[in-house]
Structure 1
């Protein structure tokens, strides 16, 4: 099934080209890591696909249709640093925001909606923090709450912008367990990721991006030293124990 089709997409900030002729297709039920150096356009790619940043050129289809028609099937977890955590609201209300597309912005959530939100918080281990102000949560706890907000949408396609950045090891494991469960349930997930050492363990597909697509495919065939060098412009040493793992930092 054509979950996501991207053809010759370009985008810019002011006069600086950030994305140029980006093309790729995403398979249903895949878990894809989007990797590349700083400034490669990874976050901009997600925002452009979701119409949160202007697209200069190119075509994008979701489920063989237009995003506006299919947006209820798409979930999004932004970078934690892009969120105003001082906004006076608690964890439960943040999760309920994921249902506003169904409830309506001017309607009060009902008990069934709150029960659904509590269920999502429980999935990410945050049910005991439902009434805690988000500003009082740790970085890892905030990330779990935003993941719960995405889960409550029950989307078919998820975009996550560095959900593992700055979280503790326990939160990282918990988030990855949930993402793999989504994949096993037939959902499709794209994740902006910064740690090359975990790519082979975490993702079944990888997309190398540096303003354009350097390589895209199954992790087994695409996550190679050559493609890493092309994307990052440096030399990488590998040690192979089944799947290739990054052994040293990019120079």
Structure 2
């Protein structure tokens, strides 16, 4: 498989605190990968550094063999819901159309075809009936679906999603995962910051264990092991089934 993302010896810091140290990995095309690790492990920071939203101290990153600035249209991003100003006075349809500014241009108004594309994206995530609803009036799960629709309309080849399943109801979680699986079937590549170890095996085909550096990375079948969980999280592990456990440490 072709590698769509290559990261070599990446390091980053907040002020004087090293958050990421010597991070290296590659992501093959058409894979659904979760990034897991304890609080403070640098998961969200990693995505922001890769996308140029936070500076790196050292290291190299290439997308499809090129610099990000050359392939921005191929890359989509769904940020953490908590990092968004949901009081901004706009409706769900406008939020989705923001994902098309690369196609429309910042100084042009969306036309009827753009609005139809945005509505179609909202239909895919089950939010067409809320197109004219102010985003501040939506529930957490509904807001997350709108942001997913905004990413889908970009028709990217590589998606980064920062905890898209955090704080959503079960129906929304199932809907989001169905969409991510469909993206994979289409040959798209998706990286997801994820917090629930219990669903890793069911939801993803690759896992990247991160705790300021890469502890392990590879296929779920060979990499999602009790040993790698212990090395990443520390603390104690309660066994749920043979070979795999859930971490109780609050590190």
Task: Identify the TM-score tier after normalising by the shorter chain.
Answer: over 0.9
Give per-residue Cα distances to partners, 1:73-120, cap 9 Å, x unaligned.
Answer: 000000000000000000000000000011111110011110000000
Q: Tell whether the 8 Å contact from 1:10 to 1:20 is kept in structure 2 after alignment.
A: yes
| Aligned counterpart, 2:188 | 187
Matches within 5 A, 1:1-251: 1-240=2-241, 246=245, 249-250=248-249
Distance 1:126 1:90 in 2: 12
CA-CA distance at 1:240 after TM superposition: 4.0
CA-CA distance at 1:245 after TM superposition: 5.1
Report the TM-score, using the length of structure 2 for normalisation: 0.97
Q: Tell whether the 8 Å contact from 2:235 to 2:248 is kept in structure 1 after alignment.
A: no
Gaps of 5+ in 2: none
Distance 2:237 2:188 in 1: 32
Distance 2:244 2:122 in 1: 33
Distance 1:169 1:51, change over 3 A: same
Q: Which runs of 4+ in 1 moved over 3 A?
A: 237-241, 244-251
Give per-residue Cα distances to partners, 1:105-148, cap 9 Å, x unaligned.
Answer: 11100111100000000000000000000000000000000000
Aligned residues: 249
Distance 1:157 1:60 in 2: 14
Root mean square deviation, CA, Å = 1.2
Gaps of 5+ in 1: none
